[in-house]
Chain A
């Protein structure tokens, strides 16, 4: 009888709170027994709540879906179950009832968090998406960001690569800023986080155990985000963590998995024998070069990669002690990277207590989440080094020459010292480096919600939160390491932060006839504090003559940094609805930031949104096809004051004139005394808010009792007063470029989401969801001046810059030379013979190889052109889940179309000629096999900046395929459970020629490869 896995599973993550108050006595009491069933499948529903209308009396269905309740004979029963449409059943004297509940396909939380409150999803006026992590089809989720990847239209999550515990870049509806931060605001249990990582923890999402997450709400348009005012220009991700259940017995559950990570793709390079053969041909007769070849056959890539085992365990206890629901969880994650020596280990602990007092007039919610992580980093350079290291050399050598280097084979100078400019032995690089970050983080919040006794429509809400984190990254490189020979290096980098916040609001909700008001007003105070320091030094005291004078050892650097900022805000929101059909939301927020001078400190951010629930209109109600149809219009302004740390030394104080002290290595002598220097820093006292205005139009629909739901949104966003680093007249400040408010850019796009349940029967259901987003980014203004063709080069590489900002083009567009090709379709190389069989025809010149755009017979910067950009035009996500009896099978696919990548790996390996294999700095370099396609015999800057290397990196990636089997009542101890197997990242379909097409920033210079991961796991409920 417990064979309805879907039902049972849904119960696993459903927190159902039923209020049973007092004893209401009434005449003509009868005892009603009944059964609650799923209208479609006929399966019993356990845990459904039965409440007698207008009383506090109620109870919950048992495991068989049955209930017994004593009520007035003329009572009406309200039957509720999360995920189903609530029904009201008149008892009418009947003593036996079978109640059928229809599934509400808009299951994703009837009530969604919208910032300083919640709203019924149906009543939302803004563009927002709420999802609950799908327990069955989520793949391996070490990080919270993995749970939303590809799931939400308009949200693009790009992981930084396969680094264990690594972070990701999240972009909502493209970037609205140019130089300032484009990260969305992340709010965890009402606490707005800062986006600064600490050592070993890439972003705030890493600190949360994904198993603790109840739901995500992503606010996309300004009418939804404007209540967060500042920091909300790039969207808001609200995370709510799980809570316990009132009055329920303790329930223990366990989730765990083991996984094996394998290398999915490697760079194919020449084998040792092929390399020897090539060298023999290229350097025939040059014995001094030939003699440098080795006899070994080393596959360097297999020397650095491994098949790695990882595991993940989570235990949680939920329940309710009297009026205090509780939840405790412990998690442990051990993740080993596919590059040797890299690993990530994390312990998390979380608690939630949500007591309520005075007949629920005072509700409290206490959250604590603690994390401890240890991240062991592998040197990122080994991916490239393993590809280019000479395969004819051994990993280790017994020769005395290599003794000083720990026995690892290395390229040496004639004097026996390490050739510092040669490729390092990647195995030695890994083994001779200890680079470990330890970090801990505590996020705590306390929420108080008080419903006034004398005026229950009025609520006061107080939320106090703190995020305190500390991280330290230790580095130790022994004396033997050739890369740091002969001193080695040790030291550490620490960072601590503590962010505090307080918000308080009052809310008044009232219904008068067909008018429904919900007004809220509040205040928020936030403080962000960060302190960092670093010290590095060599291991060996100096052996040189000045040692006596200088006893500090070989000190490299010492640095301490402290910075803080404050935000103070006032905000208000009015929700109004008429007749449940016409909805309006107005919000206003006034933000003050300590990052701008008093004159420009305050930003006012208004928003308005309207919705029309067409499906509620009489003429639509007859049309049974549309169970839901809603039109939305939104407008709003949001602000940005996060200047982006990389731009300027001190983003918190960019408007204050200060002097920067000097650090180690930057003293200046007069006579024999070394002096400290003091530098006036550039500043801009006119810095002000960057403002993004968003227009949004959307339509939500549900068809066939919401068996199919869909949303379509169009948005247009324009950002003005871009926080941007622009040239100022020389001599007017202490820098030629100063952070200023100059420029505009726009993003426009369309998002479409559809969720459908094509099959829904007793034994067989199929859920499928699909989303697609189109986004176009365009710079419309970049400078105060009017010089035509002004560009800002970005994306610097080893040979100049291949990307630029310019008016009329998307930000960071590729800015390159247009390659010409010969009759065989091969790119023309400058300096190659036009016809190798007939040298008298001469060699190709630059104008033969590249398009001379301005036709001045010289190929120079003026001939560069704009060519695509790193961002996809279209992104899509597709998730499917099939349940058959106790089996489930799901997969998620993700596509990105029109994103381009500069293949820097190919560019840096393009020279396979005489000067490319034996480097002029005296070492051999292996090359990828596909470098021989173009077969370049030399290098030139122009070639590096050729559009030949800007490649279409559109892709379809399968994020995971999961199969599971659910069971119940095992060994009397386990009430239910599931075993599952997942393959994570099994395939990528792409025409891109590099290792992996998914590169944030658009420049592919060997990332940590993303592994294919096979997972087996179990979930048990005791």
Chain B
């Protein structure tokens, strides 16, 4: 008995010692066992992520494991393209949205504040791309193999593109080329312009030759097109407003911007002369099989024009904020089949000002367009044959004999205003898309047509002719493709309207209006319905030429000054 007692005592003592001796403290040094994560840098995986960030919202399609933090509860609403689109389209004469979301209403009526979730999300999305790019460049620093060189050039392109949009939307923004805990300093817009220009010029030699890159990756032509876009807006971006100097960057005195029309024309011409051409069919650019052969389509020739597509795939690359947003938000139950009938959100449709670009004199008559009847206008209209006028005011009408009202009295009624049927998940070759919920259509984020208008506008504004192509001819190339009557003379008014006709609902309108002085400020005379929140439209404060630095970053980063007026 005594022995047993002793044994028991020993057991306890031994247990006690063992516990401490086995060093359970080491257990606290964990390495992740989650198969969903790794600790090693995967060069190709991170590279692909930088591109995917333009299409997807997280690591799970269509939603889940989101990439950014957002004030928008719905992950899809925070998507990069979707937010960029909303900032550049809902705020203009082209698009208006029926939804009641706060952010949408503020954009519809040009009354946003620094807590607008959409402008906040686009900011976060672009800095997400920038952080990934900075990380990629740090991790691949010093690697000189050909594949890495190309990847690094493209990553720098994507970073420059992100800074380009931040510069366009927000003006002076925090700037960093590395991952560091130090809050980035605020760069002035004019300095960011110079940086983007230098960066795009620096990477050109390392990029793929035109058309030599795998589809979905960018080549030299994308670089040229972005440069031409940068130069076209140079005057805007290099204008230094009168405001208190921002910290830590060389203060620049208030000054008018420096236009770069010839440079814009030069780089636009390089694109025009490249291996990219116009797709014969305008509507094929916006259809489910617009990746052509890659989509198994021998009919759709869109890839000849698309320089930088943002990929979507009904099965593998799913997002509520890429092409599905364009298709889903513009359609609703009752409309003619659009190929992903599970998603018809009835939100975005045209303002009357957009429709008037196509039908200026007879606006209000009983015309309509649908996809089987696009070119056979019977009314005697100036621009009656324009393939690009892809509107529908019939299928949502209350009855077969009445038409949807073209004037929007109630923003929240989708059926007021003309539906835009430019985007669909229908294939040009007549086969069915992969999914009835998620779209196969790629967003033609950069396409060659832009170069023609940039070229024409740059020349018209005083750029020097490069290589013989006239401005008028360049514009008429697009109009001819659209079966529209060609212009005989060309004015800047024609150009700004042509930008709308060719690119409406493609997410760029705001910059064009600002460049033409037709957006915000006391001198602006151009109005559109519901501009500034009034049915007839009204002037809006010049502060709206920029979005405010989001409240979250302003609060977190002591180096930042808010844009004037906010």
Interface residues of A (CB under 8 A from B): 286, 288, 358, 361-362, 413-415, 417, 419-422, 450, 452-453, 460, 462, 486, 502, 504, 506, 523, 525, 527, 542-546, 549-550, 554-555, 557, 559-566, 568, 592-594, 598, 601, 649-650, 652-653, 656-681, 725-737, 783-785, 787, 790, 793, 796-797, 799-801, 858, 860-862, 915, 920-922, 938-941, 944-945
Q: Which residues of B contact A460 (CB under 8 A)?
A: 12, 16
Q: Which residues of B contact A670 (CB under 8 A)?
A: 48, 51, 214-217
* A544 in contact with B434 (CB, 8 Å): yes
CA distance A549 to B332 in the complex (A): 31
Interface of chain B, main secondary structure: loop
* A652 in contact with B30 (CB, 8 Å): yes
Which residues of B from 175 to 201 have beta carbons under 8 Å from A? Answer: 175-176, 179-184
B308 beta carbon closer than 8 Å to chain A: no
Q: Which residues of B contact A674 (CB under 8 A)?
A: 313, 316-317
CA distance A420 to B344 in the complex (A): 9
* B59 in contact with A662 (CB, 8 Å): yes
Can you name the residue of chain B whose Cβ is closest to the Cβ of A419? B333
Q: Which residues of A contact B346 (CB under 8 A)?
A: 920-921
Of the candidates A542, A658, A785, the one whose C-beta lies within 8 Å of that of B558 is A785
- Binary contact readout B1-13 vs A (1 if CB under 8 angstroms, 0 otherwise): 1001100110010
* A941 in contact with B102 (CB, 8 Å): yes
Of the candidates A422, A594, A669, the one whose C-beta lies within 8 Å of that of B29 is A594
Q: Which residues of B contact A563 (CB under 8 A)?
A: 32-34
* A730 in contact with B48 (CB, 8 Å): no
* B59 in contact with A736 (CB, 8 Å): no
Interface residues of B (CB under 8 A from A): 1, 4-5, 8-9, 12, 15-16, 19-20, 24-25, 27-42, 44-46, 48-49, 51-52, 55-56, 58-62, 64-65, 67-69, 71, 73, 100-102, 105-106, 111, 113, 115, 123-124, 127-128, 130-132, 134-135, 174-176, 179-184, 214-217, 294, 296, 311, 313, 315-318, 332-334, 337, 341-342, 344, 346, 398-399, 410, 412-415, 431-436, 438, 551-559
* A568 in contact with B24 (CB, 8 Å): yes
Can you name the residue of chain B whose Cβ is closest to the Cβ of A790? B555
Max count, chain B CB within 10 A of own CB: residue among A362, A546, A801: A546
Of the candidates B39, B56, B214, B318, the one whose C-beta lies within 8 Å of that of A658 is B39
Kindly provide the distance from the CB of B157 to the nearest chain A CB, expressed in whole angstroms.
15
Q: Which residues of B contact A726 (CB under 8 A)?
A: 556
* B58 in contact with A666 (CB, 8 Å): yes
CA distance A657 to B139 in the complex (A): 14
Max count, chain A CB within 10 A of own CB: residue among B9, B38, B344, B556: B556
Query: Contacts A660-B36, A735-B128: A727 and B555 contacting too (C-beta < 8 A)?
Result: yes
CA distance A660 to B52 in the complex (A): 14
Can you name the residue of chain B whose Cβ is closest to the Cβ of A459? B12
* B556 in contact with A729 (CB, 8 Å): yes
* A944 in contact with B42 (CB, 8 Å): no
Of the candidates B27, B128, B398, B433, the one whose C-beta lies within 8 Å of that of A544 is B433
Q: Which residues of B contact A727 (CB under 8 A)?
A: 552-553, 555-556
Query: Contacts A660-B59, A678-B49: A414 and B334 contacting too (C-beta < 8 A)?
Result: yes
CA distance A676 to B46 in the complex (A): 9
* B127 in contact with A679 (CB, 8 Å): no
Q: Which residues of A contact B42 (CB under 8 A)?
A: 659, 678
Can you name the residue of chain A whose Cβ is closest to the Cβ of B412? A939
Can you name the residue of chain A whose Cβ is closest to the Cβ of B61? A665
* B28 in contact with A799 (CB, 8 Å): no
Q: Which residues of B contact A543 (CB under 8 A)?
A: 432
* B39 in contact with A525 (CB, 8 Å): no
Kindly provide the distance from the CB of A953 to the nearest chain B CB, expressed in whole angstroms.
23
Q: Which residues of A contact B44 (CB under 8 A)?
A: 675
CA distance A941 to B108 in the complex (A): 13
Query: Contacts A663-B59, A799-B101: A668 and B414 contacting too (C-beta < 8 A)?
Result: no
Q: Which residues of A contact B49 (CB under 8 A)?
A: 668, 677-679
* A680 in contact with B124 (CB, 8 Å): no
CA distance A858 to B333 in the complex (A): 35
Query: Contacts A568-B25, A727-B553: A671 and B111 contacting too (C-beta < 8 A)?
Result: no
* B48 in contact with A659 (CB, 8 Å): no
CA distance A169 to B294 in the complex (A): 52
Query: Contacts A650-B34, A725-B69, A731-B127: A666 and B60 contacting too (C-beta < 8 A)?
Result: yes
Kindly provide the distance from the CB of B448 to the nearest chain A CB, expressed in whole angstroms.
20
Max count, chain B CB within 10 A of own CB: residue among A550, A565, A658: A658
Of the candidates A545, A601, A668, the one whose C-beta lies within 8 Å of that of B56 is A668
Query: Contacts A453-B9, A568-B28: A658 and B37 contacting too (C-beta < 8 A)?
Result: yes
Of the candidates B5, B100, B174, B341, the one whose C-beta lies within 8 Å of that of A940 is B100
Of the candidates A663, A801, A861, A921, the one whose C-beta lies within 8 Å of that of B332 is A921
* A785 in contact with B35 (CB, 8 Å): no
Max count, chain B CB within 10 A of own CB: residue among A362, A680, A729, A941: A729
22 residue pairs of the A-B complex, CB under 8 angstroms, read A420-B333, A420-B342, A450-B8, A560-B35, A563-B32, A564-B30, A566-B24, A658-B38, A659-B38, A661-B36, A663-B36, A669-B216, A670-B215, A674-B313, A729-B556, A732-B176, A734-B131, A735-B68, A736-B69, A783-B555, A920-B346, A921-B346
